C-alpha cells in the first residue's frame, strides 16, 4: 500500500523492512497494523445498549399520565363534595397534595428518571393545569345536569341573589344611592355568570401557583444528584 513520507512527501511502500525509512530523505516511517487502518464506524452507529437517562429531562408521557390520574380523582372528589360535605374537605386536601402525589407516581413508574427542583416544578405546572381542567369540566357538567336535568339550582340562585342585594344595600347606605340601572345590572344573570367565571379564574391561578411551588419543593426533596445507570 502506498504511503507518503511525513517529511518530504515522497511515496513509500509499507510492509517491508526496506521501506521503514523514506528512500528520498531517509526519515523513519511509522507503520501501523492492518486493523488500525480500517475505516471508522459511521457517526450514527450504536453498540445496541440503551443510552443513560438524560439529566434534567422530563419523561412527559409518564408525567401527563400521572397528572391526568391526579386531576381525574380531584374532579371526582369535587363533584361528590357538592353533595357530601366531608368529601369537600377531602377534595381540598387532595388538591393541595396533588403535586407530591404525582411526583411519587412519576418516580414509581420511572425510577431512573432525573429528579430535582426544576423537574418537579415542570411536573407541578402540568399537575396544576390538569387539576384546573378536570375540576372545571366536571363542575361545569355537574352544574348543567343540576340546572337543566334535576332543576336543583333554585336555592343556589336565591342565595347568590340575596348576597348581592345585601352588598348593594351596604354600598348604598355608605355613599350615595346606586342608580336603578346599575342595581339591575348587578342582579342580572349575565353579571352573576361573569362573577362566577372571575372567581373560577382566581381559584385556577391560585391552584396553578401552589401546584408549581409544591412540585418544586417535592422535586428538591426527592432530588437525585446523579442519574442512576
Residue 131 is placed in which grid cell?
387539576
**Does residue 49 sit within a domain?**
no
Taking CA atoms, 178 is separated from 160, 164, 183, in Å, by 19, 13, 7
Q: What is the pLDDT of residues 187-218, one digit of tens each?
A: 677 777 777 778 888 888 999 999 999 999 99
**Does residue 54 sit within a domain?**
no
Burial grade of 108 (CB within 10 A; 0-12, 13-18, 19 or more):
exposed
CB 37 within 8 A of CB 14: no
Q: What is the pTM of this model?
A: 0.60
Does 85 lie in the same domain as 29? no
Does 207 lie in the same domain as 156? yes
**Does residue 228 sit within a domain?**
no
Does 95 lie in the same domain as 11? no
Question: Could you tell me which of 205, 213, 195, 216 has the C-alpha nearest to residue 129?
Answer: 205
- pLDDT at residue 225 above 70? no
Does 128 lie in the same domain as 214? yes
Residue 7: which domain range? Answer: 2-34
Q: Total domain count for the chain?
A: 2
CB 96 within 8 A of CB 207: no
**Does residue 178 sit within a domain?**
yes
Q: Is 163 helix (H, G, I), strand (E, B) or coil?
A: helix
At residue 226, the pLDDT reads: 46
Does 129 lie in the same domain as 86? yes
Does 66 lie in the same domain as 6? no
Q: What is the pLDDT of residues 93-146, one digit of tens each?
A: 999 999 999 999 998 888 888 888 888 999 999 999 999 999 989 888 887 776
Does 112 lie in the same domain as 187? yes
Does 207 lie in the same domain as 169? yes
CB 87 within 8 A of CB 80: yes
CB 133 within 8 A of CB 211: no
At residue 13, the pLDDT reads: 66
Does 201 lie in the same domain as 94? yes
At residue 121, the pLDDT reads: 92
**Does residue 50 sit within a domain?**
no
Does 87 lie in the same domain as 18? no
At residue 58, the pLDDT reads: 83
**Does residue 44 sit within a domain?**
no
Does 103 lie in the same domain as 26? no
CB 215 within 8 A of CB 127: yes
**Does residue 48 sit within a domain?**
no
Q: Rg of the chain's alpha carbons, rounded to an integer?
A: 35
At residue 5, the pLDDT reads: 75
Q: What is the pLDDT of residues 46-90, one digit of tens each?
A: 555 555 555 557 888 999 999 999 999 999 998 888 778 788 889
**Does residue 43 sit within a domain?**
no
Does 13 lie in the same domain as 90? no
Residue 229: pLDDT band (50, 70, 90) is: very low
- pLDDT at residue 169 above 90? no
Amino acid at each position: 500500500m502506498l504511503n507518503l513520507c511525513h517529511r518530504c512527501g515522497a511515496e513509500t511502500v509499507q510492509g517491508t523492512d526496506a521501506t521503514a525509512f523514506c528512500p528520498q530523505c531517509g526519515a523513519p516511517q511509522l507503520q501501523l497494523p492492518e486493523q488500525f487502518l480500517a475505516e471508522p464506524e459511521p457517526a450514527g452507529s450504536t453498540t445496541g445498549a440503551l443510552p443513560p437517562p438524560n439529566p434534567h429531562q422530563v419523561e412527559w408521557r409518564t408525567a401527563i399520565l400521572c397528572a391526568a390520574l391526579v386531576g381525574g380523582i380531584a374532579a371526582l372528589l369535587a363533584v361528590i363534595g357538592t353533595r357530601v360535605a366531608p368529601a369537600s374537605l377531602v377534595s381540598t386536601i387532595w388538591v393541595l397534595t396533588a403535586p407530591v402525589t404525582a411526583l411519587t407516581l412519576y418516580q414509581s413508574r420511572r425510577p431512573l428518571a432525573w429528579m430535582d427542583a426544576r423537574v418537579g416544578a415542570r411536573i407541578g405546572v402540568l399537575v396544576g393545569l390538569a387539576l384546573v381542567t378536570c375540576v372545571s369540566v366536571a363542575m361545569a357538567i355537574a352544574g348543567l345536569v343540576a340546572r337543566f336535568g334535576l332543576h336543583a339550582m333554585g336555592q343556589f340562585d336565591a342565595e347568590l341573589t340575596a348576597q348581592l342585594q345585601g352588598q348593594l344595600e351596604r354600598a348604598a347606605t355608605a355613599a350615595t344611592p346606586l342608580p336603578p340601572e346599575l342595581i339591575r345590572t348587578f342582579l342580572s344573570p349575565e353579571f352573576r355568570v361573569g362573577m362566577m367565571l372571575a372567581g373560577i379564574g382566581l381559584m385556577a391561578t391560585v391552584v396553578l401557583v401552589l401546584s408549581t411551588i409544591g412540585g418544586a419543593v417535592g422535586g428538591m426533596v426527592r432530588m437525585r444528584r446523579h442519574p442512576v445507570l
